[in-house]
Chain A
Amino acid sequence: MSECCEPVAFVPPVRQPGAKTAGELHTIALIGPPNSGKSTLFNRLTGLRQKVANYPGVTVEQRMGRMSGVGRDDLVLIDLPGIYSLDPYSEDARVSIDVLEGHMPGTPKPDAVLLVLDSLHLTRQLMLAAPVLALGLPTMVLLNMSDLMDARGGAIDPLKLARELGAPVALVSATKGTGIESVQMFLNRNDSKLDTPPLMLPVLGNAMSTHRWAAQVSTRTGYRAPLSAKMTRRVDAVLLHPILGPLLFLVVVFAVFQVVFSVGLPVSNGLQDILAHFGKWATGFLPAGWIRSLVLDGGWNGVTSVLVFLPQILLLFLFIGILEDTGYLARAALIADRVMRSIGLNGKAFIPLLSAYACAVPAIMATRTIENKRDRLATILVTPFMTCSARLPVYLLFIAAFVPNVAFVGGLISLKTLVMLGLYTIGFLAALVTARVLKSSILKSSETPFILELPQYRMPTLRSLGLRLYDRGGVFMKQAGTVILCVTLGLWVLANVPVHAGHPPELGESVIGRLGHFIEPAIAPLGFNWKIGIGLLTSVMAREVMVGTMGTLYGADPETQSLSLQTALHHDLPLGGAIALMVFFAFALQCTSTIAVVRRETNSWKWPAVQFVYMLALAYGAAFVTNLVVTALWG
């Protein structure tokens, strides 16, 4: 899933250096404490779709976007990671402070600041107002979630607060879109008051006096904190219950996997039939011969064999989206702290690990919230062991083809579900064991304290869940239409050359067949045939390319052409090899995007190289043993 994590493509306009007068503001930064709604506001003001969720630390790097709907098109908004103060405590906070001070290469120094504060907890949030206002940049204070504050009986006098702070203040709701017009007025106003001198606050750098100041300001401005939502505490009484909590979590996870098979698989199979018929019908209009074969057996078969897994992938993303948007993710980190501590990490590292079930690339970025550098590196190195969604098509294809339809407990638990859970579990265990080894050897460090803010639970909106699925679905389709299409077309060509007297060669005699047979001795001990070998080579780009490769190679083989991919695999591969293949995928690092992001985040080629070789060796060894055991038991 390579495209999932590219920054918003945007080149900031080049400007002349020098002081700016009002009306010449170009770059505006969004600053605020974690989980105060900066990214939601960013999306609202730019029309972009930056990831938002309900836990602190969703945004870990600066993102820029052009503001729309403000009557000008020269305004650039920068979204930044949340900060508690201007003393950086973690890597993501460092990013915000560097941008704010103009030290971030490639990002212009902001001309103005939108300070976003959560109006539900204003007293504490005001502690950030003092140091930010003291920077002397034109600043507007936005009290976000004001709709919730009103609903829960909170109150504040924004005019009084504006007078106290010497900056304009507006009540807004980024989710509902209320109060946003005030931002436009602030950015377009054209008076000299913009150059107000920095606020002289006697409190800088001292948390104690900053807090005292914040408390006084909130009293003087008539701030009444809203009643805390009791729902969160009631829900936590169950979800953090010593027995009920973990039990409920397991039941939900299990149910999700079961649904992937009982609902998702029939949908996929139906889709497969429809697409296969459509492909045959549509290519009927092409002249018979090599062109039709290239389009149908090469491109169409390869791409659709991956595309049919879209329903299951969306199901998984829906589940992850619900976990993130409700606020449960932070609780999961809390529950996992005990286990994480036993391997030498802390519960915070669990948040990136969980989000790696979607994709390792954003998960590796998310490790920036881990304060300890060695903890962070250990987490980066083990994150690709978590079963990302790109492995899902491979698992689903091979499980559907090889694992018999056996059910236990009156049909509630199927063997297919158990095998899938097993694959997810071995990946997770490999991550834990590897982290344990790293943390007790080369990455040993003293324990860092675990300090985590738990957000209030929120009901995810259908809109935000829908947008997530739409975006993820788009990424998946795009990957299928680009990388997988190119690979499969290339494979088809290689499977049809060299041409002898106008006839394509036997598959085994083609270029791809010869290459496959050449590498076969290396993979034969794992129970793989040469076609799987080619799949292993192409899937270094991305794991789901494996499925497209199988679709093309079995489609190009006259012996298996008429069979469905599942049936073809079932006839051509021994059971030991099939199970070993899934185990291989559980451990191997086949993803160029992950390698690239590890290189970027660790700033060296050393760690991605170590990681790749280690994971490959583990995958090879585990697949070898699996093949031996499965063949001995059931072969």
Chain B
Amino acid sequence: MRVLSSLVVGESGVLVALDLPPGVQNHLMYMGFVPDARVRVLHKAPAGDPTVYSVDGIEIALRHETSRAIWVAAKSITKEDLLDVPEPAEPAEELTEAAL
């Protein structure tokens, strides 16, 4: 078992337990951070923290001190993983146009 903050970008794991104050923990669980959920590391902020995680199809950013209180188990590759291959970075022009 590892803490979520130890996962690198592109890695995923299955959530085992949360060890946070009750209010925060409840809030996170309603956002989808429940045991057995598959969590994946998508990006890190330019400064290295917070990190963006994908859970239940949505993206949630957490700071290191929150993600290190979330326990995950390494996970074997499933069909879902194969459908969701990480994308390589694309050239800048096309993307910024789409965003702005």
Chain A interface (Cβ < 8 Å from any Cβ of B): 84-85, 87, 89, 120-121, 123-124, 127-128, 207-208, 210-212, 225, 227-228, 230-246, 248, 252, 322, 326, 328, 334-335, 337-338, 347, 447, 449-454, 456-457, 459
Complex Cα–Cα for A340 and B48 (A): 14
Given A124-B32, A326-B100, A450-B61, A234-B45 contact (CB < 8 Å): no
Closest to A86 in B: B30
Smallest CB separation, A371 vs chain B (Å): 9
Contact A237 B46 (CB under 8 A): no
Interchain residue pairs A-B with the least CB separation, the first 3: A207-B29, A338-B47, A84-B30
B46: which A residues are within 8 A, CB to CB? 240-243, 245-246, 335
Q: Is B42 an interface residue (CB 8 A)?
A: yes
Is the Cβ of B45 less than 8 Å from the Cβ of A449?
Answer: no
Chain B interface residues toward A at CB < 8 A: 20, 23-24, 26-32, 34-35, 37, 42-50, 52, 54, 56-63, 65-66, 83-84, 86-87, 89-90, 92, 95-96, 98-100
Q: B residues within 8 A CB of A454?
A: 52, 59-61
Are B99 and A457 interface neighbours, CB within 8 A? yes
Question: Across the interface, do B26 and A85 meet the contact criterion of CB distance under 8 Å?
Answer: yes
Q: Kindly list 18 other residue pairs between chains A and B, CB separation below 8 angstroms, not including A87-B23, A236-B43, A449-B20.
A: A84-B30, A89-B27, A121-B58, A207-B30, A235-B96, A235-B98, A238-B99, A240-B43, A240-B45, A242-B46, A243-B46, A322-B100, A326-B99, A328-B99, A335-B46, A338-B49, A452-B50, A454-B61
Distance to closest chain B CB from A274 (angstroms): 32
A120 CA / B58 CA spacing, docked (Å): 9
Main secondary structure of the interface of A (DSSP, over half): helix
* Chain B contact surface mostly: mixed
Q: How far is the CB of A182 from chain B (nearest CB, A)?
A: 25
Chain B residues near A239 (CB-CB < 8 A) = 95-96, 99
Q: Which residue of A lies closest to B85 (CB)?
A: A230
Please list 29 pairs of residues, one from A and one from B, whose beta carbons are closer than 8 Å in the complex, sorted by A's number.
Answer: A87-B26, A87-B30, A89-B27, A124-B31, A208-B29, A211-B32, A211-B34, A225-B57, A235-B96, A235-B98, A238-B92, A238-B96, A239-B95, A240-B43, A240-B46, A326-B100, A334-B45, A334-B52, A335-B46, A449-B62, A449-B66, A450-B50, A450-B62, A451-B31, A451-B60, A451-B61, A452-B60, A453-B61, A457-B99
Contact at B45–A208, with CB atoms within 8 Å?
no
**Chain B residue at minimal CB-CB distance from A210:** B30
Q: How far is it, in angstroms, between the C-alpha of A242 and the C-alpha of B49 when the chains are bound?
A: 11
Which residue among A87, A238, A244, A347 has the maximum number of chain B CB atoms within 10 Å of its CB? A238
Assess the A228–B54 pair: CB atoms within 8 A.
Answer: yes
Q: Which residues of B contact A228 (CB under 8 A)?
A: 54, 57, 84
The answer on a CB contact under 8 Å between A240 and B49 is no
Q: Which residue of B lies closest to A225 (CB)?
A: B57
B42, B47, B61: most-surrounded residue (chain A CB, <10 A): B61
In the complex formed, the residue of A with least CB distance to B34 is A211
> Which of A210, A449, A454 has the most CB atoms of chain B within a 10 A radius of its CB?
A449
